[in-house]
A and B are shown apart, each in its own frame.
Chain A
Amino acid sequence: MEQQFPIKQLLNEKGEVTEVLQNELLNDAFIRLLYYHLIRSRTFDRKCVSLQRQGRIGTYAPFEGQEAAQVGSAMALEQNDWLFPTYRDHAATMTFGHDLTTILLYWNGRNESCIPPEGKRIIPPAVPIATQLPHATGTAIAEQKKGTNHAVIAYFGDGATSEGDFHEGLNIASVFQAPVVFFNQNNQYAISVPIEKQMKSKTIAQKAMAYDMPSVRIDGNDVFSVYRETKKALDRARNGEGPTLIEAVTWRYGAHTTADDPTKYRNQEDSENRRKAYDPILRLEKYMLANAICQQEEMEQMKQEVIIEVEQAVEQMEQVPPVSVDDIFDYVFAESIWPIEEQKRVYYASVGKGEKA
Chain B
Amino acid sequence: MSTTVKTNTLTFVQAITDAMKSLLEQHEEVIVLGEDVGVNGGVFRATDGLQQQFGTDRVMDTPLSEAGFTGAAIGMAINGLKPIVEIQFLGFIYPAYEQIMTHASRIRARTMGHYSVPMVIRAPYGAGVRAPEIHSDSVEALFTHMPGIKVVCPSTPYDAKGLLIASVLDPDPVLFLEPMKIYRAGKEEVPEDEYSVEIGKGKVVQEGEDVTVIAWGAMVPVAMEAANKMTARGVTCEVIDLRTLYPLDRDIIQQSVQKTGRTVIVHEAHRTSGVGNDVMSIINDYAFLYQKAPVQRVTGFDTPVPFFAYEDYFLPSSDQVIHAIEKVMNF
Q: Are A138 and B65 in contact (CB under 8 A)?
A: no
* Nearest-CB residue, chain A, relative to B118: A334
- Expressed in whole angstroms, the minimum distance between the Cβ of B39 and any Cβ of chain A is 15
Interface residue from A82, A135, A143, A172 paired with B65 (Cβ < 8 Å): A172
- Expressed in whole angstroms, the minimum distance between the Cβ of A119 and any Cβ of chain B is 12
- Determine whether B103 belongs to the interface, using a CB cutoff of 8 Å to chain A: yes
- Determine whether A78 belongs to the interface, using a CB cutoff of 8 Å to chain B: no
A131-B99 CB under 8 A given contacts A114-B114, A172-B68 = yes
A142-B114 CB under 8 A given contacts A168-B68, A338-B250 = no
- Determine whether B80 belongs to the interface, using a CB cutoff of 8 Å to chain A: yes
- The segment out of A30-38, A276-284, A325-333 that lies at the interface is A325-333
* Nearest-CB residue, chain B, relative to A337: B247
- The segment out of B19-27, B71-79, B155-163 that lies at the interface is B71-79
- Determine whether A250 belongs to the interface, using a CB cutoff of 8 Å to chain B: no
- Determine whether B209 belongs to the interface, using a CB cutoff of 8 Å to chain A: no
- Determine whether A139 belongs to the interface, using a CB cutoff of 8 Å to chain B: yes
- Expressed in whole angstroms, the minimum distance between the Cβ of A65 and any Cβ of chain B is 28
Interface size class on chain A is: 35 or more
Q: Are B99 and A139 in contact (CB under 8 A)?
A: no
Q: Are A138 and B108 in contact (CB under 8 A)?
A: no
Q: Are B72 and A135 in contact (CB under 8 A)?
A: yes
Q: Are A142 and B71 in contact (CB under 8 A)?
A: no
Q: Are B68 and A165 in contact (CB under 8 A)?
A: yes
- Expressed in whole angstroms, the minimum distance between the Cβ of B202 and any Cβ of chain A is 13
- Determine whether A123 belongs to the interface, using a CB cutoff of 8 Å to chain B: yes
Residues of A within 8 A of B109 (CB): 111, 331-332
Interface residue from B78, B79, B148, B250 paired with A333 (Cβ < 8 Å): B148
A134-B70 CB under 8 A given contacts A123-B115, A142-B76 = yes
Within 8 A of A (CB), among B114-156: 114-116, 147-148, 150
Highest count of chain A CB atoms <10 Å: which of B67, B80, B148: B67
Interface residue from A115, A139, A145, A172 paired with B114 (Cβ < 8 Å): A115
- Determine whether A128 belongs to the interface, using a CB cutoff of 8 Å to chain B: yes
- Determine whether A77 belongs to the interface, using a CB cutoff of 8 Å to chain B: no
Q: Are A124 and B79 in contact (CB under 8 A)?
A: no
* Nearest-CB residue, chain B, relative to A84: B75
Q: Are A141 and B75 in contact (CB under 8 A)?
A: yes
Number of residues in B with C-beta < 8 Å to the partner?
Answer: 45
Q: Are A111 and B75 in contact (CB under 8 A)?
A: no
Q: Are A111 and B110 in contact (CB under 8 A)?
A: yes
- Determine whether A140 belongs to the interface, using a CB cutoff of 8 Å to chain B: yes
Q: Are A135 and B74 in contact (CB under 8 A)?
A: yes
- Expressed in whole angstroms, the minimum distance between the Cβ of B55 and any Cβ of chain A is 11
- Expressed in whole angstroms, the minimum distance between the Cβ of A136 and any Cβ of chain B is 6
- Determine whether A248 belongs to the interface, using a CB cutoff of 8 Å to chain B: no
- Determine whether B107 belongs to the interface, using a CB cutoff of 8 Å to chain A: yes
- Expressed in whole angstroms, the minimum distance between the Cβ of A25 and any Cβ of chain B is 29
A124-B72 CB under 8 A given contacts A139-B78, A175-B63, A331-B113 = no
Mask, A338-349, CB within 8 Å of B = 1, is: 110000000000
- Determine whether B102 belongs to the interface, using a CB cutoff of 8 Å to chain A: yes
- Expressed in whole angstroms, the minimum distance between the Cβ of A192 and any Cβ of chain B is 23
Residues of B within 8 A of A124 (CB): 107, 110-111, 115
What separation, in Å, do the CA atoms of A134 and B77 have in the docked complex?
Answer: 12
Within 8 A of B (CB), among A86-138: 111-112, 114-116, 123-124, 127-128, 131, 133-138
- Expressed in whole angstroms, the minimum distance between the Cβ of A11 and any Cβ of chain B is 34
Within 8 A of A (CB), among B225-251: 247-248, 250
What separation, in Å, do the CA atoms of A321 and B238 have in the docked complex?
Answer: 52
Q: Are B107 and A138 in contact (CB under 8 A)?
A: no
- Expressed in whole angstroms, the minimum distance between the Cβ of A335 and any Cβ of chain B is 8
Q: Are A138 and B114 in contact (CB under 8 A)?
A: no
- 9 nearest interchain CB pairs? A134-B71, A138-B75, A168-B68, A138-B72, A135-B75, A142-B79, A139-B75, A334-B171, A337-B247
Point out residues on B near A: beta carbons under 8 Å: 31, 57, 60, 62-63, 65, 67-81, 95, 98-99, 102-103, 107-116, 147-148, 150, 171-172, 200, 247-248, 250
A111-B109, A135-B74, A168-B68 known; 11 other A-B pairs, CB under 8 Å? Answer: A111-B111, A111-B112, A112-B112, A134-B69, A134-B71, A138-B77, A142-B81, A169-B72, A331-B108, A332-B147, A333-B148
6 contacts between A and B (CB under 8 A): A111-B111, A114-B111, A138-B71, A138-B79, A142-B81, A332-B147
